[in-house]
Structure 1
Amino acid sequence: MFLFRRSGASSTRASLHALRALYRSFIEENGPEARSRRLLRDWLSPDQRAQFDAEGCFEVTGSHTGRRYRVHYGTVSNVVRLDEAGQPETGWCFIPQGALAAGDVMLAQKIALETDEMAALALANRFSPKVQRPRVVRRAY
């Protein structure tokens, strides 16, 4: 037969701590935020991917006007139109319906600006880019 030793409380506590750490790492690597970020990176051009990895944002060229937009990491008020000098000119807020992770929202914004810029901006709310953007708050699991 099998012989089992009865483990002490400290051993059980250590096992639970290790299990929680494993669960947290699994969620960080496979949760909705991580999956949406991987999908976004797959759709970015090599230049956009490098900029996103370095700065947490990437630039997109509008399909109709050829203007440049910078899409920052986040879901709200994260698109800024740039002037010729690359400085923020006008902020735009538009998001797809539903509760989506930040990477999914950013991918939808990228596709909208690159394929039908005027329709996306017709739905968007304008804001002043001079106002400090709220910092991204990540969920603690």
Structure 2
Amino acid sequence: MFLFRRRGVDSTRLRALRSLYLIFIEQNGPEARARRLLRDWLSPEQRAQFDAKNYFEVTGSHTGKRYRVHYGTVSNVVEVDASGQPATGWCFVPERALAVGDVMLAQKIALETDEAAVLALAHRCSPRQPSLPRVVRRAY
């Protein structure tokens, strides 16, 4: 980070500088940049939905079916029936590891441009979104 001599440097200044540096990294790191890029590609309706519910809906290019792309990278695409209920889960990701926003953007573009090819490669999975892992506490 920065090199300072211990003498003559106020510790509160160091803490303030460190917190400023951490905020900068948090706002300009790969995850934040990927999320900003995703938001730039979303329509105003999708962006509002993503901000409110942490997912957005996409219409498939060939069948016109609706898909919900949840925040995440694996098993995060759900086909939605006419009543808005999850029908089928789909799992497809890019070949390389990417930030969450980049994966979601790739899934959005793939479904909107070549739905048939994507579903031919995708794996079916449970339409239920995985919950957060439970914390197991052990008695020692």
Please state which band the TM-score falls in when normalised by the shorter chain.
0.7 to 0.9
Match of 1:62 in 2: 60
Q: For residues 73 and 43 of structure 1, what CA distance do their matches in structure 2 show?
A: 15
Q: TM-score, normalised by structure 1?
A: 0.84
Give the C-alpha shift of residue 134 in structure 1: 4.3
Give the C-alpha shift of residue 126 in structure 1: 0.8
The runs of 5 or more residues in structure 1 that have no matched partner are 1-5, 137-141
CA spacing shift, 1:53–1:134, aligned 2, 3 Å: same
Residues 72-110 of structure 1: CA deviation (Å, up to 9, x unaligned) = 011111100001100001000101111200000000000
Is it true that 1:133 corresponds to 2:134 in the alignment? Answer: no
RMSD across aligned positions (CA): 1.6
Tell me which stretches of 4 or more aligned residues in structure 1 moved more than 3 Å: none
Give the number of aligned pairs: 127
Is it true that 1:7 corresponds to 2:5 in the alignment? Answer: no
Q: Describe the SS at the equivalent of 1:95.
A: coil
Q: For residues 35 and 108 of structure 1, what CA distance do their matches in structure 2 show?
A: 15
The runs of 5 or more residues in structure 2 that have no matched partner are 1-6, 134-140
Given candidates 112, 122, 125, the residue that maps to 1:124 is 122
Q: For residues 95 and 13 of structure 2, what CA distance do their matches in structure 1 show?
A: 42
The residue correspondences of 1:1-141 to structure 2 (distance < 5 A) are: 6-7=7-8, 11-12=10-11, 14-130=12-128, 132-135=129-132
Q: For residues 92 and 44 of structure 2, what CA distance do their matches in structure 1 show?
A: 25
Residues 39-71 of structure 1: CA deviation (Å, up to 9, x unaligned) = 001100110011011111000000011000000
Residues 106-125 of structure 1: CA deviation (Å, up to 9, x unaligned) = 00000000000011111111
Match of 2:136 in 1: none
Q: For residues 96 and 38 of structure 1, what CA distance do their matches in structure 2 show?
A: 19
Q: For residues 23 and 63 of structure 1, what CA distance do their matches in structure 2 show?
A: 44
Question: What is the percentage of aligned positions where both structures have the same residue?
Answer: 72
Q: For residues 91 and 60 of structure 2, what CA distance do their matches in structure 1 show?
A: 15
